[in-house]
Structure 1
Amino acid sequence: MVSDAKVNILLVDDHPENLLALEAVLEDLGQNLVKATSGTQALRCLLNQDFAVILLDVQMPEMDGFDTANLIRQRERSRHAPIIFLTAFSTSESMVFKGYAVGAVDYLFKPIDAEILKSKVSAFVELFQKTEEVKKQAEELIITNTQLRKSEEQFRSLSACSPVGIFLIDIDGHCTYTNPRYQTILGVTAEESLGEDWTRSLSQADQEKVLTDWINSTRASQEYSREFEIVNRAGIVRWVNIRSSPMLSDEGEVIGYVGTVEDISDRKLAEAERAKLIREQIALKEAEATNRMKDEFLATLSHELRTPLNSILGWSKLLRTRKLDEKAIARALETIERNAHLQEQLIEDILDVSRIIRGKLVLNFCSINLVSVIETAVDTVRLQAEAKNIHFDFVVTPTASSPLTILGDPDRLQQVVWNLLSNAIKFTPEGGQVEIRLSIVRDEDIPNHYAQIQVKDTGIGIKPDFLKHVFERFRQADGSTTRSQTGLGLGLAIARHLVELHQGSIHADSPGEGLGATFTVKLPLPELDETTTAEAAISTKEAAKTIDANPAASFNELPLDKLHLVVVDDDVDTLHFITIALQESGAQVKAVSSASEALLEIQKNQSDILISDIGMPEEDGYTLIRKVRLLAPEQGGQILAIALTAYAREEDAREAINAGFNMYASKPIELTTLINMVAKLAGRNC
């Protein structure tokens, strides 16, 4: 059957009116007509498309039809594309011969008979469609045969290596196939197992009951499962588990039975003693599997988060291939930067969860004002709310007797508030409302005061049966209220752990789907007297002075002047970026793409600092630095070294230092940070 999909027909003529005429003649064919006004444009069309036929004008400026045809035939993809020359220039036999010589299948003179042209083109269209269908059928046949061979190989392998016995019985009760394990359990040879069924090995005590159950199951075409004793040919009594199911034909008729025989003697004999051990082993394996799943999930996703890459790669390609105006360029760069930061935030969420799971998340406690913390988070998300026309309020209801100052990590608490606000805005439709309210509440059971942060929205709400799961990790796929559109659904799980590390609590409430949700965070307020409050205020001011006294590094004109650096990274783009950045800061850089090249460069030329990637093919950064440290000092064995890698866990940093690196930095790295590190390692003040 010929495919109904449209095929491409290429029309090439330097006169638009001729193209329109051709289009009018051929449009009834219902195919995809592609027009080109020059040979160059025609060749460009042939780069990424296949054509059933090419109608090519002979006389065209710059590159005529014959030259175009020559180039078409030189390309592998279009080598066999049918070409019909159209011309009003000359009807001489030499011109016709020249057309056929360059690979034309026909040569028509203008004015062209519409019916003749349509007939010829239709023939090539039909030929193209049939050829494509044949190709498709051939590919499908290859796939089918491959799958059949694979299935047969899998069946033979599974049957031969199966830990359980397998048997086939026809409708008359005769055994037609057994695998090696079946023969071992029943103590028979392959020849002996055929023609007889497993019921011959039943013990006298079980024979009547088992046979009755077996016959009833087969008559009813039902599955059968039973544990009982058998006596094999060697006279050894074994406990087995027999299972069988009817095999049905395409018409639904029973044509036989397939069964399995499992030797469960050891389990039956030691069942009581092993029950506890089995439970412990199962629990241990499940715990190991869970931890392994978490680690694999985090390690894999940290390198394969692709959502932001759609915009990054898309705009990057447009910037490279299109001439955009300034407004479009600005939008492209803003989109790339925003999505890069988004991807960085996703990776940070993953690493936060990893730290939480391993108990490695460390908080930096100090005296903080919750109003300032919330205001910072509010400012961060306000534009998101405005973009969706969401009415956004921040309400503070303090009391004179209890200041809204707590001991906590300001960055982490801001992260908690940001997560709650981002979720509220994300799942609230346009024109909705989001409110964050800060107040002081008192526990009814314990006379303690708490700072309470409530984030309330009019969004999609939460199903009642999912409320208890809303703070669990990796559960975003199980409920629409936690399915992140651009993230990994880890924000609420991270928020819960951060709040609990502050000795606080967090819970969610929702009347139901479509009725909004309220998230409430309670943080304990310290019982501070006036002296303690004053000391905390002074401490905060002193800390602020310390921060102000250490502004961001202001570089000298060439902070890395005359430094000789070796940079190694298998990623060409990263290597180029780092090289240019360091050279613009005055350094002399030797850039290489492998550990072996870097080792030769260090031995060959005296360099000041090595900057190495960790994850590289053949030899990684750890192997490189260990080899370097084995060199004599005069060969570069004591060269200063910085590990620069996308592996950003604490253990990665420790491993890099233990391997022999002097410093460690994770990607993506800010230019100023990298230059600061190089300058610091070289003993220079920037």
Structure 2
Amino acid sequence: MPFEPKVNVLLVDDHPENLLALEAILGSQRQNVVRATSGAQALRCLLNQDFAVILLDVQMPDMDGFETAALIRQRERSRHTPIIFLTAFSTSDNMVFKGYSVGAVDYLFKPIHAEILKSKVAAFVDLFQKTVEVKRQAAQLAQMNTELRKREEMFRSLSACSPVGIFLTDTLGKCTYINPRYQAIYGMTLEESLGEGWTQTIHPEDRGRVIADWYNISERRQEYTAEFRILTSTGIQRWVHMSSSAMLSDQSEVIGYIGTIEDITERKQAQEEHINFIREQAARQEAETANRLKDEFLATLSHELRTPLTSILGWSKLLRQRKMDEKAITRALETIERNATLQAQLIDDILDVSRIMRGKLKLNLCQLNLTSVIATVVDSVRLEADKKNIQLEYIIEHTNTQNEATRNTIGDRENFPSLSSSPEGTANSSTSFVVCGDPNRLQQIAWNLLSNALKFTPKDGRVEVRLLLSAESSSETLQPQQHHSSAAKSSLALIRVSDTGSGISPDFLPYVFERFRQADGSITRHQGGLGLGLAIVRSLVEMHRGSVHAESPGLGQGATFTVKLPLMGTGKTTEQEEEKEDQEGTTKLITNYTTKSENTSCSAG
């Protein structure tokens, strides 16, 4: 039930005991009783309050009830407030007529009957409340009518001078109103525009789509927007933007549609010109970037080839002079061998990139275990790490049959396992990391990442290689036809190489795997290289249906490279025996899992 504010009732009597008695009779939550002990006090109460009824004693000193009532009726605010006279003396007709003449609506004679008083007051309270509500509704209706007239006038004015076409349709989509701008856009008369004329102007190639979409969306009471072509009566083609929405009745029923039409021909032409300009600009910039990268690569290549050649030629001349002792000769041969190896590596990288770009690089796939592949690479670069006193760690993380994460940390050469000769040396770290891949190319991936980390890590730094499993789906890594059956919960093997080196700037990070791209820094220029190693890594990883990404907090904060490769299934192969889980829940290491083959396919059995 809605809340109704209390209504004021004014009691006027010069005897406080009478006021108290009246208030006791009228005690109710519906009215707020206000007391006055004189006519002057009653008039003051009427200055800022409205009352549903006034109970006014006739016999009062100074100003009696008749005088008070006359003054009440003189004020506009209280002119129509009902007044009930209370008297204990005269009941003559003259007295009653005098009371009515000054504005009384009723008389009550003392002693007052409580029920009669309550019923009369209740009637005036109800009348007051209803009067207030009627006034409120009347004011609201008047305001609504005023607003409606303003809106109608505003709509007419806006419609007449609107820069866009405005239309109204019935529920069947037939136009019932259009503004002048609508006619100008379509080049149609008023008669031609009304009804279904607008559908005939839609370009034949767009007509079916536009009409079908309009009806489908309108049925769902959704706003419709579309861009399409029209043909004016003179045959001119224009692009327009239409927007429409349903008009609903008070019962939420669709009574029609209102919409706008905007001529966007110039905008479409400008967009097309802008797109063409952007394409030309992008093509020009791409060509300039390609030329710049080519020039930078050729300059770098020339430098990288000339540097070892200079060293080889210099030591060769010294050897030809035969004036060197045995120690110097050994040093010369080592230097020549080292620089020749460096040149061979540069040439191999260039040839690999050439084969990748031409799609000529082939993989010799077989089932293999990544633990041994990474171990071989870590062992091959350990000498380089020792020269710079870099802590090189190889960590293998895997999950046992109770799904508990465990790890093997291989910190130095003495503790480094020989996976091919000691099956029990690294238990629990074998079958989890079986993939289908080319062993040489996977070693190349690991070697490139590790050598890159060592190159950019300063002395006394740290490089970590972590091999682990990932429970994420490999559906984004494998092609649909390459999904292998597997009972394992994990579907990806992760090779993560982290270092405490020079890091990668956020601006260069998106380009770190692009060919011939190198960061513009003194550290990078000092370390040299052609900028091909990471590009080769990405290409080889993708050829293995994997992915690789780089992370770095910024310059001087190290970097982390993560390779994700899809795991093989857990079935047997022709040269593998399935290892059963022992009673303690551990998984034994299978070192001879891989069967190297020249075939270019793998099967999971």
Does TM, scored on the shorter chain, surpass 0.5?
A: no
| Structure with the larger RCO, 1 or 2 (CA within 8 Å, 6+ apart) | 2
Query: Whose helix proportion is higher, 1 or 2?
Result: 1
Structure label with greater radius of gyration: 2
Provide the TM-score with structure 2 as the length reference.
0.41
